[in-house]
């Protein structure tokens, strides 16, 4: 019956994850502290009233209704004095992108369409470099009372204050923005609601923060205004006061009055239970430290391709991307945005790096594809990767067919097969997880994941099982040798212990004899018992003591063996008692070996446990600092690409070569480099991985080194780069043939041929003319035309075999290096001293490990 215990581990693991999620959510709701939803709604209504009754102020006068908005109170020590300069900088970016028309449109005086071709629907991704703005020098660092922002623990008690999260202290880094278009949103003029997901990385401190911002986007101007909303800043309520002009202030205020009122109604009727619908937190993380609030200005810019297409072509292209009809359209240009970030509570100002302040080679602001283009690229890349997976599967099936005999499977390293399976399993889990989280790519991801699953679970594990079963006798011999060595060590230890105890008892008896004196003999030395005498000795009579004298010493009767069982009294602490060590009963070595032999179910479970651990470590590494994350991923890439190392080691241990087909080795090496090439070299990869030619070169060199070592083992020898003492002894099928036969490795028949050549003038003997035996019939050597060579007959193909032979008297190191090195690979000599062509004997040994001539057992290759 098959061992199904390996299936329990994944089943228990996923069951625990499924049922534990609800318990975690319930526990969080029980310990959640803070205001109720009614208190939150009351505060939001107060701030909404302030938005509706406030007026535009170029300098942000925090008086009147404006002071009712969280973060704009007069007692707040935020850096609001820098807001006018930040507005001016954002207006400069808008005018650089749109020209004079943009300046007029900002004040509401422009008419007609935007002459600059811009995208109307900007759902997608942009990324680029950022730098610290020159305005930073004019901003005073806010002096905050940190006790007001002390976080609460699970039980509502204040904790110690510490630094704010999202506090960017470096001078440069990278930023990635994902635009999110809301469904059923309100729209005022050309302004609509929108949200963005910002990931900002500090290259100096290696910190990485992810934040959600909510705000508005003006489709006509291509201008976006977003802010975070928290307990320290009501960003969504104060958003109109961050606008660039009075016209955009009125438009934004009208739009937000509608959208915020709609969200308040949903909270009042309990259609939404969120305390902060505009939260900046990513994920469900209730217990966090204070964070820096952000105000984000984005301005869409036209690329050279946009200007070439024009507004009408760009609108048609955008309509075809969103609602495809099959029309032939040009390729979609990438989106292009400039960025400006202002943190009023932490006091830093950041902006994207690019023209006109910097050369385009140093940074071109934020550039990225639309979401439709990214999905199309993802589908195309997955469809191109599916043939790669099929090619790996095809090579594996050919290798399984080639390694169909125990002789060939015994040469394959089990750990090489397992490492290949782990790599395929890693790809499988990545594709399956992506398929469940990206609905738009479900079909291509599911198709690629299915092929990878076949490669891993069906064919890969079957191949591993075949190799495991064939190599079981080898593992049993190793375990048996270990058990026998262990038993021998225990036996030697027992003998030493018995000898020490015997010597100890002898010393104690000698000491007792000395202490008893000459008049008293210990019972152990004076009692003499015979097997035939069981009658007790009569008591000896003693003389009466002399009156007035000293009493005489009582005579102690010697102990008599009555045959009764003695009674021993054992003290409570067992002090002074020596355990009696006897020879242990014979142990069943076969049972011990069977108990220590690993099963395939155990290996199956361990393989998947290692795979799951690697996947979780990879997920955890995404939150590590950038240098540590890059180092870990590079180390993981090197480890997962070291699949030929176990095969090289096994070739050395068994002194074998050509365990795997070269088409399998070269094909798998190249095909498994495709994902690394996609991530490290391909610029337009869908996960926006940074190009890293250095890491790719190291990985390519490492795999190339392994392949070269495998090739050198087949050509030169499996052990050419190790010392003879480093590896166990193994038979060499390609020995150096010497004419003097001192090594005893000359093929049978060489002496007869030499004798016939030397004694051709002597009369023939009837004994010499007899027919040679079967064991000596097929290897009679003949003289070759060239000096230093002999010709033998191959009993398999019945063709001549010319081999190099070192003549008598030649140096010992001759014949091992040079031309003879490759010539030795053309023949094979068996332990029974029969010689064959290499290809003939290797083909024979795939099916039988017996000599074709004498049927002697042959060691496997």
The CA distances from residue 637 to 452, 630, 631, 702, in Å, are: 18, 10, 10, 11
- What is the pLDDT at residue 764? 44
Q: How many CA atoms, within 13 angstroms, populate the side-chain half-sphere of residue 649? A: 9
Prediction pTM value: 0.73
Mean pLDDT on 71-85: 88
Residues whose CB is less than 8 angstroms from the CB of residue 712 and which lie 6 or more positions away in sequence, other chains included = 720, 721
For the segment 629-644, what is each residue's pLDDT rounded down to a tens digit?
889 999 999 999 999 9
Could you state, in order of their start, the residue ranges of all structural domains in the chain?
32-142+166-321+331-369, 374-476+595-719, 731-759+772-845
3 state SS for 154-172: CCCCECCCCCCECCCCCCE
For the segment 438-469, what is each residue's pLDDT rounded down to a tens digit?
888 889 999 999 999 999 988 999 999 999 99
Return the beta strands (E) in 105-207 as ranges.
125-132, 172-180, 187-188, 191-202
- What is the pLDDT at residue 699? 95
Residues whose CB is less than 8 angstroms from the CB of residue 133 and which lie 6 or more positions away in sequence, other chains included = 89, 340, 349, 350, 351
pLDDT for residue 541 is more than 50: no
Rounded-to-integer distance, Cα 532 and Cα 102, Å: 130
For the segment 167-190, what is each residue's pLDDT rounded down to a tens digit?
898 999 999 999 988 877 888 888
Rounded-to-integer distance, Cα 243 and Cα 226, Å: 10
Cite the DSSP H helix spans in 116-156: none
Of 262-271, 389-398, 737-746, 755-764, the range with the lowest mean pLDDT is 755-764
Please report the DSSP string for 532-583 in residue order: S--SPPPPPP-PPPPTTSPPPPPPPPPP---SPPP-----TT-TT--PPP-P
For the segment 492-512, what is each residue's pLDDT rounded down to a tens digit?
999 999 999 999 999 888 888
Among 495, 149, 118, residue whose Cα is nearest residue 307: 118
Rounded-to-integer distance, Cα 4 and Cα 26, Å: 35
For the segment 768-792, what is each residue's pLDDT rounded down to a tens digit?
444 444 444 445 556 665 677 888 8
pLDDT for residue 213 is more than 80: yes
Rounded-to-integer distance, Cα 44 and Cα 500, Å: 89
| % residues pLDDT > 90 (the chain) | 35
Mean pLDDT on 546-560: 51
Which has more pLDDT, 593 or 541?
Answer: 593
Rounded-to-integer distance, Cα 748 and Cα 349, Å: 89
Provide Rg for the chain, Cα atoms: 44
The CA-to-CA distance between both ends of the chain, in Å, stands at 33
pLDDT for residue 596 is more than 70: yes
- What is the pLDDT at residue 134? 93
Q: Give the number of residues written for the chain.
A: 861
- What is the pLDDT at residue 782? 60
Q: Which helix (H) or strand (E) holds 25?
A: helix 8-31
Q: Please provide the average confidence, as pLDDT, over all residues in the chain.
A: 81
Rounded-to-integer distance, Cα 305 and Cα 785, Å: 77
- What is the pLDDT at residue 493? 93
Mean pLDDT on 808-822: 61
Q: Please tell me which of 38-52, 329-343, 621-635 the model is most confident about, judged by mean pLDDT.
A: 329-343
Following CA atoms 692, 698, 701, 706 in sequence, which dihedral angle do they give, to the nearest 10 degrees? -130
Burial (CB < 10 A; 0-12, 13-18, 19+), residue 272, is middle
Residues whose CB is less than 8 angstroms from the CB of residue 536 and which lie 6 or more positions away in sequence, other chains included = 560, 562
Following CA atoms 258, 259, 261, 262 in sequence, which dihedral angle do they give, to the nearest 10 degrees? 110
- What is the pLDDT at residue 140? 85
């Amino acid at each position: 019956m098959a061992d199904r215990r390996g299936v329990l581990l994944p089943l228990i693991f996923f069951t625990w994850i499924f049922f534990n999620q609800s318990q975690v959510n319930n526990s969080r709701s029980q310990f959640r502290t803070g205001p109720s939803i009614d208190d939150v709604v009351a505060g939001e209504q107060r701030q909404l009233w302030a938005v509706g009754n406030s007026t535009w102020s170029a300098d942000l006068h925090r008086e009147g209704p404006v002071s009712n908005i969280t973060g704009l109170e007069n007692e707040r020590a935020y850096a609001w004095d820098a807001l006018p300069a930040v507005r001016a900088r954002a207006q400069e970016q808008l005018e650089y992108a749109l020209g004079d028309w943009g300046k007029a449109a900002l004040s509401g005086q422009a008419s007609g369409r935007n002459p600059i071709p811009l995208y109307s629907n900007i759902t997608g991704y942009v990324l680029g470099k950022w730098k610290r703005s020159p305005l930073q020098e004019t901003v005073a660092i806010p002096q905050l009372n940190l006790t007001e922002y002390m976080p609460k623990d699970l039980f509502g008690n204040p904790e110690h204050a510490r630094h704010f999260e999202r506090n960017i202290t470096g001078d440069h880094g990278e930023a990635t923005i994902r635009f999110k278009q809301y469904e059923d949103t309100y729209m005022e003029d050309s302004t609509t609601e929108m949200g963005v997901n910002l990931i900002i990385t500090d290259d100096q401190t290696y910190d990485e923060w992810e934040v959600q911002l909510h705000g508005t986007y003006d489709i006509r101007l291509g201008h976006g205004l977003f802010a975070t909303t928290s307990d320290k800043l009501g960003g969504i309520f104060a958003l109109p006061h961050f606008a660039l002009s009075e016209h955009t202030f009125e438009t934004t205020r009208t739009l937000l009055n509608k959208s915020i009122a709609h969200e308040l109604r949903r909270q009042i009727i309990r259609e939404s239970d969120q305390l902060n619908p505009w939260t900046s937190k990513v994920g469900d993380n209730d217990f966090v430290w204070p964070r820096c609030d952000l105000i984000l200005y984005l301005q869409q810019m036209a690329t050279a391709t946009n200007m070439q297409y024009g507004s009408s072509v760009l609108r048609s292209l955008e309509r075809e991307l969103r609602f495809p009809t099959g029309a032939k359209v040009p390729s979609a240009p990438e989106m292009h945005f400039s960025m400006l970030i202002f943190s009023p509570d932490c006091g830093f100002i950041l902006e994207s790096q690019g023209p006109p302040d910097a050369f385009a080679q140093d940074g071109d602001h934020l550039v990225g594809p639309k979401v439709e283009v990214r999905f199309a690229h993802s589908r195309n890349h997955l469809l191109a990767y599916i043939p790669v997976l099929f090619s790996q599967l095809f090579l594996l099936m050919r290798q399984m067919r080639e390694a169909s005999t125990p002789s060939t499977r015994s040469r394959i390293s089990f750990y090489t097969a397992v490492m290949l399976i782990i790599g395929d399993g890693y790809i499988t889990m990545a594709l399956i997880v992506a398929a469940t989280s990206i609905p738009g790519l479900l079909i291509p991801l599911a198709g690629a994941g299915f092929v990878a699953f076949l490669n891993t679970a069906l064919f890969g594990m079957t191949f591993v099982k075949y190799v495991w079963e064939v190599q079981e006798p080898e593992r049993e011999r190793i375990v048996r040798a270990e058990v026998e060595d262990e038993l021998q060590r225990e036996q030697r230890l027992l003998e030493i212990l018995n000898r020490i105890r015997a010597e100890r008892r002898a010393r104690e008896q000698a000491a007792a004899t000395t202490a008893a004196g000459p008049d008293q003999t210990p019972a152990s030395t004076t009692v003499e018992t015979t097997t035939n005498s069981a009658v007790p000795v009569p008591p000896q009579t003693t003389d009466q003591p002399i009156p007035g004298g000293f009493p005489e010493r009582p005579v102690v009767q010697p102990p008599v063996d009555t045959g009764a069982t003695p009674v021993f009294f054992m003290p409570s602490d067992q002090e002074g008692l020596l355990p009696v060590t006897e020879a242990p009963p014979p142990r069943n070595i076969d049972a011990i070996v069977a108990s220590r032999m690993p099963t395939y179910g155990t290996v199956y479970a361990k393989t998947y446990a290692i795979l799951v651990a690697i996947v979780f470590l990879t997920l955890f590494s995404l939150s590590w600092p950038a240098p540590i994350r890059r180092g870990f991923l590079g180390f993981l890439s090197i480890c997962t690409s070291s699949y030929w190392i176990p095969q090289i080691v096994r070739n050395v241990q068994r002194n074998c070569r050509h365990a795997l087909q070269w088409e399998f080795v070269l094909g798998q090496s190249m095909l498994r480099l495709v994902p690394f090439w996609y991530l490290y070299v391909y610029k337009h990869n869908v996960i926006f991985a940074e190009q890293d030619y250095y890491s790719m070169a190291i990985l390519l060199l490492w795999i190339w080194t392994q392949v070269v070592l495998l090739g050198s083992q087949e050509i030169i020898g499996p052990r050419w780069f190790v010392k003879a003492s480093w590896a166990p002894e193994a038979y060499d099928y390609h020995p150096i043939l010497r004419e003097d036969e001192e090594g005893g490795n000359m093929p049978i028949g060489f002496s007869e041929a030499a004798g016939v050549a030397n004694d051709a003038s002597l009369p023939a003997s009837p004994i010499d003319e007899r027919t040679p035996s079967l064991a000596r019939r097929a290897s009679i050597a003949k003289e070759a035309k060239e000096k230093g060579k002999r010709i033998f007959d191959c009993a398999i193909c019945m063709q001549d075999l010319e081999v190099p032979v070192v003549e008598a008297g030649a140096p010992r190191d001759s014949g091992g290096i040079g031309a003879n090195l490759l010539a030795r690979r053309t023949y094979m000599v068996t332990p029974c001293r029969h010689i064959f062509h290499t290809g003939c004997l290797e083909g024979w040994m795939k099916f039988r490990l017996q000599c074709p001539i004498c049927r002697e057992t042959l060691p496997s290759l």
